[in-house]
Amino acid sequence: GRLEAVTQQMGYHPQYLDSFLKTQHYLMHMDGPLPFDCRHYIAIMAAARHQCRYLVNLHVLQFLRAGGDPQWLRGLEFIPPKLRNLNEINKILAHRPWLITKEHIEKLLKISEWSWSLAELVHAVVLLAHCHALASFVFGCGCEQDEGLGGRGSLKPLSLGNQCFCEATASNSYGQELLRINRKRSLDSCMELDSLRERMQRIHVETEGRDEMRLLQQDREEGEGQGAGWVCRVGVSAGLSPLADTDGEVTGATNLACYMQDPDFGYQDFARRDEDQTQVFRVQDYSWEDHGFSLVNRLYSDIGHLLDEKFRMVDGLQSSAMAKRQGCEPSVFKRGIWNYIHCMFGIRYDDYDYAEVNQLLERMLKVYIKTVTCYPEKTNSEMFDRFWKQFKHSEKVHVNLLILEARMQAELLYALQAITQYMI
């Protein structure tokens, strides 16, 4: 259950967890414009931008379970051009969403053999934003360091005395049933590993031929003197899919570079002093409530309602302890965090005094929020432990939920505005 670490963390806020699970289930498993295997591959591409092995490993398994072609796991060079063309907006949305333009949208929608439909593109954009933001949450709460994934151990695992994620959703039949299904799937995946390994090896034999097998054998013999194991050629090329080593164990991702182009492209401060200021995104001109919601809901039925519920749910969570420390109302404190995150992506609210951000948010908290939001792969356990030691773990999880939702909405606003401009 690789998603289980995420649900355990979100279980501190059961109402939000239920809303998140409904959205996740709808995006990945319900009727929609995109095929199921493509959904998981898009999730792999999105998670790879932030080097999030946790999510990549999860969606690699689900991609194969959905009938996806294992050859695609060798990297972007082995996927259909239509899917590969999504790489550019994946890169931009993940790191500098303010750079996306209607020209990027037009390039994907233009009439050709590999063109996207509007509905398909909206589904893909929501998936990208969802997975980019979820990667922030994964790093922010320490799920990426989970011992089960070969990391350093989770930042703060649940103890027996804490509320378990399954208990947190016990009052909600939908969330409880979905968690039961997820646990069953995780058990099923354990039973599938042997057949999955055999499938990868069979494809290797079919595609590479006897000469390639002979070279592989030579490589293995040369490596034995150095204690090196071996994997099938598909795995060597990709360096990431679940593979068999010498002991027959399944290993996770080791190199995500094959899922990315231009890996050095990353976040830059929106308003750098040495450059001309980029056009600010003003919410009164294009907002989620007045524009984004209706567009996404029209092109991808019902997803707008699910996203809107999730945005409202995180806004309704109580953080009395965090707000009390700053001597303000919870709503004021949460808005400070939300607007600070949007500000880093160039989104401004004319009715907000941004001097409040420095008054409400301590320096260590601001450093943590910016790191998790803009380059989550740089987050570490020390950074998590240092910010607000005296606060409960649930309060820290709440901050990460605000980061997740604020970041996702920011990416969606830029992408949906570009789609709107194209349609006009």
pLDDT of residue 319: 66
The catalytically annotated residue of 38, 52, 131, 141 is: 52
Mean pLDDT, the chain, whole residue set: 77
Which alpha helices (H) appear in 141-225, and where do they start and end? Answer: 165-168, 173-224
Which of 1-15, 306-320, 369-383 has the least mean pLDDT?
1-15
Residue 411, CA distances (Å) to 292, 296, 350, 417 in order: 11, 13, 19, 10
Asked which of 12-26, 146-160, 361-375, 385-399 is least confident by mean pLDDT, the reply is 146-160
Q: How many helices (H) and strands (E) does the chain have?
A: 19, 4
- Domain ranges in the chain are 11-145+257-423
- Burial (CB count within 10 angstroms: exposed 0-12, middle 13-18, buried 19+), residue 227: exposed
Pairing of strands 347-348, 281-282: parallel
pLDDT score for 325: 67
Q: Of 297 and 223, which is predicted with more confidence?
A: 297
The SS3 call for residue 200 is helix
Contact, 72 vs 41, CB < 8 A?
Answer: yes
Q: What is the largest CA-CA distance in the chain?
A: 72
- Report the DSSP pairing between strands 250-251 and 347-348: unpaired
CA distances from 82 to 31, 109, 112, 169, 423 (A): 20, 10, 10, 39, 21
Q: Residue 191 pLDDT > 60, yes or no?
A: no
C-alpha–C-alpha distance, residues 412 and 302, integer Å: 16
Q: What are phi and psi of 297, to 5 degrees?
A: -70, -30
pLDDT band at 149 (very low <50, low <70, confident <90, very high): very low
Kindly provide the b/e burial profile for residues 342-373, where b requires at least 16 CB atoms within 10 angstroms of the residue's own CB.
bbbbbbebeebeeebbeebbeeebbebbbbbb
Q: Which residues fall within 8 angstroms of residue 307, CB to CB, at 6 or more apart? A: 23, 126, 293, 296, 408, 412
Instruction: Clarify whether 343 is annotated catalytic.
Output: no
| Span 87-92, average pLDDT | 96
Residues belonging to the chain: 424
Q: Can you give 244-308 as a three-state secondary structure string?
A: ECCCCCEECCCCCHHHCCCCCCCCCCCCCCCCCCCCCEECCCCCHHHHHHHHHHHHCCCHHHHHH
* Alpha helix positions (H), 327-392: 330-344, 355-360, 363-374, 381-386
Q: What is the DSSP letter of 319?
A: -
What pTM was estimated for this model as a whole?
0.77
What letter would DSSP give residue 164? P
Averaged pLDDT, 96-115: 91
In angstroms, the CA 340 to CA 273 distance is 18
Cα–Cα dist 423/110, whole Å: 12
Confidence of residue 145 (pLDDT cuts 50, 70, 90): low
Residue 205 carries which side chain, given as an amino acid letter?
A: V
Q: What angle do CA 299, 301, 305 make, to 5 degrees?
A: 110
Q: Amino acid identity of 415?
A: A
2: left (phi over 0), alpha (psi -120 to 50) or beta: alpha
Please give the pLDDT value at position 323.
66
pLDDT digits over 204-226, tens only? 444 444 444 444 454 444 444 43
* pLDDT for residue 279: 80
Distance CA(94)–CA(317), nearest Å, equals 26
Task: Write the CA distances from 298 to 26, 41, 243, 265, 292, integer angstroms.
Answer: 16, 24, 41, 33, 10
Encoded tokens for 149: 């994934």
**Kind plus residue range of the DSSP H or E element containing 347:** strand 347-348
Identify the bridge partners of residue 281 per DSSP, sorted by sequence position.
347
Q: pLDDT-derived band of residue 72, with 50, 70 and 90 as boundaries?
A: very high
Mean pLDDT of 328-355: 92
